[in-house]
Amino acid sequence: MSGSDNQNDTFPATKMERGKIFAKTGLKVGSNYARYLKDRVTKGKAGAEERKRDLNTKNAKDLYKEFTKLRGTALKLAQSMSMDASMLPDEFAEVMADAQYRVPPMNKALVRKRVRDGLGQYPEQAFTAFTPDAIAAASLGQVHRAELDNGNDVAVKVQYPNVRETIESDLSMARTIFKRLIKSPNLDDYFAEVRDRLREETDYENEAENIAFFADQYEQEGILTPRPVQAHTSETVLTMTFVEGEHLEEFLDGNPDAATRNHFGQLLWDFIHEQIASDYRTLHADAHPGNFLFRDDGRLGVIDFGCVKTFPQTFRDNMLRLYRARIEADEEALVPLLYDLDILREDMSADTRDRMRHFFDRFGSLIVEPYRHDTFDFGDPSFHDELHACFRAASEFRETPGSPHFIFLNKVLVGLFNLLSKLQPTVDTARSRDLLDRTVDRIEAREKG
């Protein structure tokens, strides 16, 4: 995107400025609900489902409009929760997807100040060349292209002002809004999980370590990742080698043939599964189109390693056990795992447990469907129609089931399936099935002794 076309001269960096926007957002959401409840009384059941969808879309658009002004924690929180259909209705995912590309950038003077504050030098001093217009602007920062004195091209990510300092206050104010949208006894646990990841994601020195880790572990023949440039990196400014490539939308505009789409689909599928099966249990947890680049040399570029999640051993292992129990229809193993993962709880009413169990039987069977075949066609619309139907059904629950770790696992899974639904490849899933099976065997062997 071009930063010169949409420069933002006023950045709400103080708690008071941000509080006003949160308050305005809360009033809009409250007004939307008031109109919805009035119509429910006056219009009865006729058109009730459509009115509920309209309410969700209106709330999502209002949150998008105001939180885009805020950037930072507020926008990242909405993006994360919108990827989990059990947290927010799927209308939110549709609206919030735009936030990956349409965030207004900082003005050039503020960019210069942020680079100086982070690196101790203005951009023109730290780099041989520095493009003042952002080439990308997202929730926590924006990216500029630059050149080092050795001639190497680099990407420089510059964090918005006070993002790290406003995490706690933003989450506190956002919670009052999301309480209207989410009915969950474990909402505080979800907010704590998001807060912990945001503290990591706003530390660009931590992201530089993530970049180095993924480059060492996963850069191979088909995958290309950046490398950090430590001498030009601080907590708020991150410099990394520049990775060329087209984003998914541009790539598809070129009408790639089936073989090319299959090739990149396979790389995406295998990249995620290698992380799931790894003993590190560390996942690139932000699988949206802006973080993958499709290259002419056939390699898949993977960028943006701010949102990286290392899952606890027990959670990861139980998820893989659940996968095997679902594949094998092993009821004796399945039910205890649903309780271990907090999907089912003893304090639920019998009716709620039955509905949860029915939903997760449906959803779980769909998720493992690709593994029941040696190849799977992700261009099959029936699979994605059923997936969408599951998301819509999940949004009807009055409480959020499951461990808070699910919020980032769902970001990976939903993001991957959304990417594949657009790419429409046929993928060899036998390899990933064998990889997961070997991993479960290793887990069970370790447990036995």
Low-confidence ranges of the chain (pLDDT < 70): 1-11, 13, 72, 74, 77-102, 180, 182-186, 395-401, 449
pTM here? 0.80
Residue 122 has what pLDDT?
97
* Domain layout of the chain by residue ranges: 6-102+165-199, 104-137+140-163+202-243, 244-449
Q: Are strands 308-310 and 300-302 parallel, antiparallel or unpaired?
A: unpaired
Please report the DSSP string for 371-392 in residue order. GGSSEEETT-HHHHHHHHHHHH
Residue 104 has what pLDDT?
74
Under DSSP, the state recorded for 351 is H
Residue 365 has what pLDDT?
92
**Helix and strand tally (H, E) in the chain?**
17, 12
Residue 94 has what pLDDT?
64
Residue 7 has what pLDDT?
42
Residue 8 has what pLDDT?
45
Per-residue pLDDT of 53-105, as tens digits, reads: 788 788 878 877 777 777 767 677 666 666 555 556 666 666 666 555 567 78
Residue 184 has what pLDDT?
62
Under 8 Å CB-to-CB from 246, ≥6 apart: which residues? 254, 293, 294, 295
How many residues in total does the chain contain? 449
Residue 335 has what pLDDT?
92
C-alpha 122/C-alpha 112 separation (Å) is 6
Residue 84 has what pLDDT?
56
Structural tokens at position 357: 């169990």
Per-residue pLDDT of 6-30, as tens digits, reads: 444 466 767 788 888 888 888 888 8
The Cβ of residue 198 has, within 10 Å, a number of other Cβ atoms equal to 25
Tell me, letter by letter, the H, E, C secondary structure of 387-430. HHHHHHHHCCCCCCCCCCCHHHHHHHHHHHHHHHHHHCCEEECH
Per-residue pLDDT of 289-318, as tens digits, reads: 888 999 999 999 999 898 899 999 999 999
Residue 324 has what pLDDT?
95
Under 8 Å CB-to-CB from 263, ≥6 apart: which residues? 298, 425
Helix (H) or strand (E) holding 224: strand 223-224
Q: Classify 104-137+140-163+202-243 by CATH class.
A: alpha beta
Residue 3 has what pLDDT?
39
The Cβ of residue 111 has, within 10 Å, a number of other Cβ atoms equal to 23
